[in-house]
Structure 1
Amino acid sequence: MPSRLRIYNLIDGKPIELAASQDFSVISARTGNFLYNGQTADAHTATRAVESTVSEFSTFKKTLAWERHRMLLHAAELIEKKGDEIMRSQILETSCDEGWASFNVRQGASIIRTTAATMMEALTGDVPPSFFGHTTLVFKEPVGPVLVIPPWNGAVALCCRVISAPLAAGCTIVMKASELCPATHQLLVHIFHEAGFSPSSVNMVMADRSRAAEITEVLISHPGLRKIEFIGSMEVGKLIATTAAKYLKPIILELGDQSPAIILDDADLPRAAKLCAKGSMLYHGQICFSTERIIVQRGVKEEFEKLLVQAVQNIHLESSGVTYTHVERAKAAIDAAIEEGAKFLCGDSEVSGLNTLTPSILTNVGRDSAIFSTEAFAPTAFITVVDTEEEAIEEANSRQGGLSAAVFSRDYQRSIRVARELNFGGVQINNMTVFAEPAGPVTSTRGSGYGESNGKYGVGQFLISKAVCLVE
């Protein structure tokens, strides 16, 4: 953790101290305590960060792939070695529980190792000749300097992901750290530097929420910046995508969802209930993969609901909402749904402690209620009852998001058949929606964005295929 009361922007590995007028407060929502100040980068500092990254790219892109591979593995080792320090920082800043923080450290190291293990496949290319006497060489080259914007809710794991993939490809990075966890994100930047990546290969800037759009546009508009990756809400993703389009910059987006879990009439109901409860409540429901919609076939509705209530009541939330605003917004959405005719199957909308919502399951949610079609990002979910498998698929596909879904059935052929009909980048069978295999793709579709992440799929997003044709 920082020994001072201020977190600075980081360029070329050095802290950039700005005027006190650039300060913003980082507050623990769980305790209400002031932690320290971050500093919003001004336009000059943001431009310096990009220019440093652009200058370093001409050297960094020539590093051998095996060197980058070695440094990534070292970074993973350092994250595990410093895991306790990283966990303390994440818990303090984001009000998560120790289990979620520990998972983030393990997952972050795993993501980096998987990136290193699969990067060589992404970096190779060939093409069969189409004409006699012609030979085409395909070179996989880094796209150039990139801007990455990781979120606060997977402060360690997702930050490791957005840094490791571009570095594996040979790109240099400006990272816009979350204003809610700047110390955690800065710890990770220092770890990549310590692992051997040059100080200028990963620069870090910050911005208070009130100035985030302004500073993000300064970064994106720089002619040397070639691509953007953003993980966050649909609302902010649309704004950043609009800015990227304005300057003709490609972008990878992983946005929100209302991830559905389908409970078919041949499901293992105790397992389904336990995993739906966990998928809804994990980290106070503040995960883009959280289970917010539970779609149940009518024949098993009553038994499943009893098991789900038991599973939810057995959960003791140790995480809190990340800010008061997040919790107030979620509580208001739940209360509005109840006023409009929804019922609590279990729980309520009370806030305990400073910032923890009571876990809840709703039924009879009206289609005009905001919570019916808008991500709650809270420890709550609602049940929709259907008669047939086809209706379950239609209901699951009826929202704008398309990140993750789950299907519960004892019949694997049936499960796969349903999964193929779901318009989501990932489908979990007999597992909670909050899951991603580090070596497999995380694919954003529809309103949840576009692009792929993880392993060779993520590295490939930061490469271009250059064809060099030789004619004899």
Structure 2
Amino acid sequence: MASIPVVNLFIDGEWRPASNQDTFEVRNPLSNEVVSIAASATLDDSTAAVEAAGRAFKTWEHSPLPQRRSVFLKAAELIGSEKYKAKIVETIRAETAATQTWAAFDSAYARGSLEHYASLVADLKGETFPSIVPGGHVIAQRRAMGVIYAISPWNAPIILTIRAIAIPIICGNTVVLKSSEYSPRTQAIVVEALHEASLPKGVLNYICTGRENSPILTPAIIAHPFVKKINFTGSDRVGKLIAAEAAKYLKPCVFELGGKAPAVVLEDADLDEAARSLVYGSMLHSGQICMSTERVICQKSISKPLLDAISSLAERLKAGDHDKDPANVQLSALFNSGSAENVVNMIKEAQEGGAEVVLGKVDREGAVVQPHIVRGVKPGMRLWDRESFGPVMVFAEAETVDELVELANASEYSMVSSLWTKDVNQALDVAGRIRSGCCNVNGPTFHSEMMRGHGGLGGATGYGHFAIDDFTDIRMVVVHPPHRQYPLVG
């Protein structure tokens, strides 16, 4: 029997166990088998990681931009190699029960992400202009902030880990990265690649810890004077706790806190094309994506043919163990049975409120939930208001375009949306009225443009963006002219 892989902490350029030798188990959501044993960081370990990052910042802040770019390009080459791709796919599937397709996507996207972030060194420039003092000059520079505390999730563990650390490091910051307790071995692969690419010690430090320790470690890390900013991707519930802790020290945050993406379908839309995109957007990775299509809102005149087309496609999909039945299983289990139970309860509550389950049996088998379509869900119901993070599509309808827009905006979430229409002028008008960070016209909600950063417009979605502006300070140097005259002293 093969030994269970062990995940250690990475602090000041060295892999090490927890200082008290404590560990926690990571179990596959489908089989419940232990697939990883991870070091459970202590408060001393976390402090050591922050202090290592603080020491490294003194030199990394002043590192040449070509050096930073070279490290990331080398890491991109490594992570795109067959060795790393195979390791990533195997580990994602073991820890999160993802399908082969989703694991391969996360792996394939990683190289392009690193190459893109490497290119951002070109944006690290300032400007110069005359001072308001006659004869003086001002130099404004983008400078690194210090130590960044980054917390990354399990659902796209490679690309979201890269996003959490790459821009901060490219900007000259150093990072303490905390993994999800559900995917520590997978996320450690990103650290391995950057270490192999010769990222200097202390620039990136990696900790993982058992679920019970996070409420102790995270406040202590945020409180440390070396930590200047926090970024977090995860639930809005946890995001609010982190924001409250950061507010004690007036430390800024960048958050991405989920979504409830609406897809608005107008009566002139190509319904076959829309149906394929809507099912893809809602069911991919069993809906465990922040950009999943959770709400389909269409005009009543097309509701029956659109719902029929969606149902016909969705009923062909099956969730379960892809390895045991690859011919028939397209969707993964959810990341744990508690999440599956929550999804089923949300559907039951909607039923009790008068909603109709068009597809699905409103049950689960362990962590497995089959695709569901629920009609007649309204604002005020939990299934409308809260992110489900499951294979569930809410289907709603209204008469007018104004009513559709009002329903689309009836949400705290504002990350992404989509709009279906053949009328280009109407598309531009309606898309501008939907409150989301990115509106995809005749395309899936599962899409956003990397070149413009990422994030929604506020509320439960989060705030700030994963962009150069959010991980640098603009500092000014003012050169005063000689022989100035001053009040009082001449």
TM > 0.5 between the two? Answer: yes
What's the offset of the Cα at 1:451? 0.8
Cα distance in structure 2, aligned partners of 1:133 and 1:221: 43
Corresponding residue of 1:363: 375
Amino acid at match of 2:385: S
How many aligned positions are there? Answer: 465
Amino acid at match of 1:119: V
Within a 5 Å distance, the mapping from 1:348-387 to structure 2 comes to 348-352=361-365, 354-387=366-399
Cα distance in structure 2, aligned partners of 1:84 and 1:199: 26
Corresponding residue of 1:242: 244
Cα distance in structure 1, aligned partners of 2:3 and 2:10: 16
| CA shift digits 1:25-45 (9 cap, x unpaired) | 110001111123223211111
Cα distance in structure 1, aligned partners of 2:448 and 2:197: 26
Corresponding residue to 2:232 among 219, 224, 230: 230
Amino acid at match of 1:334: I
What's the offset of the Cα at 1:344? 1.6
Within a 5 Å distance, the mapping from 1:426-437 to structure 2 comes to 426-437=438-449
Amino acid at match of 2:93: I
Q: Are 1:51 and 2:32 an aligned pair?
A: no
Corresponding residue of 2:476: 467
Within a 5 Å distance, the mapping from 1:444-459 to structure 2 comes to 444-447=456-459, 448-453=461-466, 458-459=467-468
Question: Structure 1, unaligned stretches of length 5 or more?
Answer: none
Q: Does the residue aligned with 1:67 lie in a helix, a strand or coil?
A: helix
Corresponding residue of 2:404: 392
What's the offset of the Cα at 1:100? 1.0
Cα distance in structure 2, aligned partners of 1:4 and 1:300: 53
Cα distance in structure 2, aligned partners of 1:183 and 1:13: 17
What's the offset of the Cα at 1:127? 4.4
On the 8 A contact 1:341/1:366 being kept in 2, the answer is no
On the 8 A contact 1:115/1:459 being kept in 2, the answer is no
What's the offset of the Cα at 1:130? 5.3
Structure with bigger gyration radius: 2
Cα distance in structure 1, aligned partners of 2:407 and 2:331: 32
Corresponding residue of 2:125: 124
What's the offset of the Cα at 1:364? 1.4
Cα distance in structure 2, aligned partners of 1:402 and 1:5: 39
Corresponding residue of 1:403: 415
Cα distance in structure 2, aligned partners of 1:93 and 1:246: 35
Judge which range, 127-136 or 358-367, deviates more. Answer: 127-136
Within a 5 Å distance, the mapping from 1:5-84 to structure 2 comes to 5-18=5-18, 22-81=22-81, 82-84=84-86
Cα distance in structure 2, aligned partners of 1:291 and 1:193: 37
Q: Does the residue aligned with 1:344 lie in a helix, a strand or coil?
A: strand
Cα distance in structure 1, aligned partners of 2:166 and 2:20: 33
TM-score by length of 1: 0.95
Within a 5 Å distance, the mapping from 1:16-415 to structure 2 comes to 16-18=16-18, 22-81=22-81, 82-121=84-123, 123-129=124-130, 131=132, 132-316=134-318, 317-352=330-365, 354-415=366-427
Cα distance in structure 2, aligned partners of 1:444 and 1:104: 21
Corresponding residue of 2:485: none
What's the offset of the Cα at 1:362? 0.5
What's the offset of the Cα at 1:413? 2.0
Cα distance in structure 1, aligned partners of 2:19 and 2:44: 13
On the 8 A contact 1:119/1:459 being kept in 2, the answer is no
On the 8 A contact 1:107/1:157 being kept in 2, the answer is yes
On the 8 A contact 1:108/1:158 being kept in 2, the answer is no
Amino acid at match of 2:6: R
What's the offset of the Cα at 1:443? 2.6
Q: Structure 1 residues 426, 127: closer, same or farther in 2, change over 3 A? A: farther
Judge which range, 438-447 or 126-135, deviates more. Answer: 126-135
Cα distance in structure 2, aligned partners of 1:175 and 1:213: 16
On the 8 A contact 2:91/2:185 being kept in 1, the answer is yes
| CA shift digits 1:282-339 (9 cap, x unpaired) | 1111111111111111111111111111121233433111111111111111122223
Q: Structure 1 residues 118, 16: closer, same or farther in 2, change over 3 A? A: closer
Cα distance in structure 2, aligned partners of 1:388 and 1:234: 32
TM-score by length of 2: 0.92
On the 8 A contact 2:338/2:367 being kept in 1, the answer is no
Q: Does the residue aligned with 1:444 lie in a helix, a strand or coil?
A: coil
Cα distance in structure 1, aligned partners of 2:70 and 2:404: 47
On the 8 A contact 1:108/1:161 being kept in 2, the answer is no
Amino acid at match of 1:26: V
| CA shift digits 1:360-412 (9 cap, x unpaired) | 11001244432121111100011111111111111111111111111111112
Q: Does the residue aligned with 1:401 lie in a helix, a strand or coil?
A: coil
On the 8 A contact 1:169/1:460 being kept in 2, the answer is no
Q: Structure 1 residues 130, 57: closer, same or farther in 2, change over 3 A? A: closer
On the 8 A contact 2:264/2:297 being kept in 1, the answer is yes
Question: Structure 2, unaligned stretches of length 5 or more?
Answer: 319-329, 482-490
Cα distance in structure 2, aligned partners of 1:350 and 1:328: 8
Amino acid at match of 2:28: S
Cα distance in structure 2, aligned partners of 1:257 and 1:274: 21
Q: Give the structure, 1 or 2, with the largest relative contact order (CA under 8 Å, sep 6 or more).
A: 1
Amino acid at match of 2:41: A
Q: Does the residue aligned with 1:210 lie in a helix, a strand or coil?
A: coil
Corresponding residue of 1:443: 455
| CA shift digits 1:198-228 (9 cap, x unpaired) | 1311101112222212111111110011111
Amino acid at match of 1:39: A
On the 8 A contact 1:49/1:204 being kept in 2, the answer is yes
Q: Does the residue aligned with 2:105 lie in a helix, a strand or coil?
A: helix
Corresponding residue of 1:424: 436
What's the offset of the Cα at 1:446? 2.2
Cα distance in structure 1, aligned partners of 2:223 and 2:14: 24
Amino acid at match of 2:462: G
Cα distance in structure 2, aligned partners of 1:134 and 1:416: 47
Cα distance in structure 2, aligned partners of 1:221 and 1:92: 35
Amino acid at match of 1:470: V
Q: Structure 1 residues 240, 271: closer, same or farther in 2, change over 3 A? A: same
Q: Does the residue aligned with 1:439 lie in a helix, a strand or coil?
A: helix
Q: Structure 1 residues 20, 45: closer, same or farther in 2, change over 3 A? A: closer
